């Protein structure tokens, strides 16, 4: 079990109408939080303001799933960090593997999005992870180090204070295949080592590193038992109030 304050975050992805989002946040408000975790939900942009309004005064914080790198302009369909913040987001997920693989978010683009989030005081949840092919080629740590190195290039420990890292192996996302607790621990320890080398031991020790990829009510306890796992970023089961409640209240 981590000595850092755990974070349990739900990424709702492209799910939920306004009514469904409202029902889910209302259910989560009364779901308990026995570990005093930081609980975060990331609705889609259409539900963000509504969910933030309903979460106000509760222990639940609201994140957006992405931001554009500019504050405003002619970028049809995109949402700026100013707008996300205005709608009530306190956090921004950046570099989710679906953003990287489906929408072409490169390390260079992410590096600009990091600047955008920092400009507006959004706490970054920076996602990294390897594909199955990369894992099988023994490239996991090299891939992740390069995502961290290039995505965060140019920022100091002071700039990145409070940033959260999410390790999400691409092969475990939405597949029902979870990394074993040992696999998660190995990568989390390597990420912490990277942070120590780059930003110092104190920064590394304070940074929360979340695991994501088929986290369920049935496997969260063993994953959270790992010393370098400080929380979970949950997809599918974050949409189900009772399942996500159990994950928040992990043992
Ligand atoms: P699943 O929990 O559905 O595998 O999704 C994980 C994820 O991508 C969270 O960001």
**Helix/strand/coil (H/E/C) assignment for every residue in 96-163:** CHHHHHHHCCCHHHHHHHHHHHHHCCCEEEEEECCCHHHHHCCCHHHHHHHHHHHHCCCCCCCCCCCC
pTM of the model: 0.98
Q: Does the pLDDT value for residue 206 go beyond 90? A: yes
Over residues 55-60, the mean pLDDT reads: 98
Contact 179, 209 (CB under 8 A): no
Shortest-distance atom of ligand 1 to CA 13? 10
Distance from Cα 205 to the centre of ligand 1, integer Å? 25
Domain 7-248 class?
alpha beta
- For residue 38, the cross-strand partners are 7
Burial class (CB in 10 A: 0-12, 13-18, 19+), 54: buried
Q: Does the pLDDT value for residue 195 go beyond 90? A: yes
Report the pLDDT value the prediction gives residue 242, as an integer from 0 to 100.
Answer: 98
Q: Max CA-CA distance within the chain?
A: 48
The whole-angstrom separation of Cα 159 and Cα 121 is: 10
Over residues 156-167, the mean pLDDT reads: 98
177 pLDDT band, cuts 50/70/90, is confident
Q: 28 in ligand 1 pocket by Cβ < 6 Å?
A: no
Q: Does the pLDDT value for residue 186 go beyond 70? A: yes
Mean pLDDT of the chain: 97
Report the pLDDT value the prediction gives residue 199, as an integer from 0 to 100.
Answer: 98
Over residues 130-157, the mean pLDDT reads: 98
Over residues 114-130, the mean pLDDT reads: 98
The whole-angstrom separation of Cα 185 and Cα 205 is: 15
The residue nearest atom 5 of ligand 1, judged by CA position, is 235
Report the pLDDT value the prediction gives residue 219, as an integer from 0 to 100.
Answer: 97
Q: Can 168 be counted among the known catalytic residues?
A: yes
Over residues 47-67, the mean pLDDT reads: 98
What are the structure tokens assigned to 175, written together?
Answer: 């597949």
153 pLDDT band, cuts 50/70/90, is very high
**Looking up tokens 């920022």, which residue turns up?**
155
Report the pLDDT value the prediction gives residue 1, as an integer from 0 to 100.
Answer: 59
What are the structure tokens assigned to 173, written together?
Answer: 């996302």
Over residues 219-232, the mean pLDDT reads: 98
Q: Provide the residue ranges of all domains of the chain, joining segments of one domain with +.
A: 7-248
Shortest-distance atom of ligand 1 to CA 237? 2
Q: Can 188 be counted among the known catalytic residues?
A: no
Report the pLDDT value the prediction gives residue 148, as an integer from 0 to 100.
Answer: 98
Q: 41 in ligand 1 pocket by Cβ < 6 Å?
A: no
In terms of Cα–Cα distance, which of 208, 214, 148, 210 is closest to 180?
214
What are the structure tokens assigned to 22, written together?
Answer: 């409202």
């Amino acid at each position: 079990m981590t000595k850092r304050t755990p974070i349990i975050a739900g990424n709702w992805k492209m799910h939920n109408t306004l009514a469904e989002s409202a029902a889910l946040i209302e259910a989560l408000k009364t779901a308990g939080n026995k570990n005093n975790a930081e609980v975060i939900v990331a609705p889609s942009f259409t539900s963000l303001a509504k969910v933030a309004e309903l979460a106000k005064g509760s222990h639940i914080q609201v994140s957006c799933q992405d931001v554009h790198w500019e504050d405003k302009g002619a970028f049809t369909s995109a949402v700026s960090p100013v707008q996300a913040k205005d709608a009530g987001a306190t956090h921004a997920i950046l570099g989710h593997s679906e953003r990287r693989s489906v929408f072409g978010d490169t390390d260079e683009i992410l590096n600009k999005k990091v600047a955008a989030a920092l400009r507006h005081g959004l706490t970054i949840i920076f996602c990294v992870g390897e594909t199955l092919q990369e894992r099988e080629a023994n490239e996991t740590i090299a891939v992740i180090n390069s995502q961290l190195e290039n995505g965060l290039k140019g920022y100091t420990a002071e700039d990145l204070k409070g940033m959260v890292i999410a390790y999400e192996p691409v092969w475990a996302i939405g597949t029902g295949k979870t990394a074993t607790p040992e696999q998660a621990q190995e990568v989390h320890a390597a990420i912490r080592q990277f942070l120590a080398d780059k930003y110092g031991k104190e920064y590394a020790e304070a940074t929360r590193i979340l695991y994501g990829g088929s986290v369920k009510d049935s496997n969260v306890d063993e994953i959270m038992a790992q010393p370098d796992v400080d929380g979970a970023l949950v997809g599918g089961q974050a949409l189900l109030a009772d399942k996500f409640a159990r994950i928040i209240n992990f043992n």
